[in-house]
Amino acid sequence: MSAEVFVAPNAIYRTDPDIAVDGQQRFVAAARNFYAPNIVWTAPGRDVQWQGREVVIRQLLREAGGMHDPEFTPLRRHRSDHKLIDEFAVRFVYTGDGIDSAPIARGNFVELKRVRLLELRGECCVQETCLETWTVLLPEG
């Protein structure tokens, strides 16, 4: 599984539940191939750190579950032999659960701009650092 093929878990959540379930299964399979067993995932702006492939996968799925009706815009992707930069923006309504320490509240329509900095060993990611910018576009109500 090459790093170019890896898909963010949030992209699996669409309006059709059958597509979401199939997409979630594909995400988990791809993530198990992509992330090293000892992966370290961090979002320093939220002071969040997870360690270990299964923990990271579970937490990413949990975060994705907090995004109602997400709309993704890819911004940039670059890869060298040992690094991958993946930048995107996603707009969604926050369900109120699943995204730890985010500066948003249940019902907010938000935009998350995330720059994923991934360190690779071969085709596996050993470190992922997510630089995030959160913008509340519309408060609840």
Quick: pLDDT tens for 95-121.
999 999 999 999 999 999 999 999 999
Q: Which pLDDT score, from 0 to 100, does residue 89 have?
A: 95
Boundaries of every domain in the chain: 3-138
Angle between helices 53-65 and 17-34 (to 10 degrees): 150
Evaluate whether the domain defined by 3-138 bears CATH number 3.40.640.10: no
Tokens of 113: 């701009």
> How does residue 13 score in pLDDT terms, banded at 50, 70 and 90?
very low
Quick: pLDDT tens for 59-85.
999 999 999 999 999 999 999 999 999
Q: Which pLDDT score, from 0 to 100, does residue 8 have?
A: 52
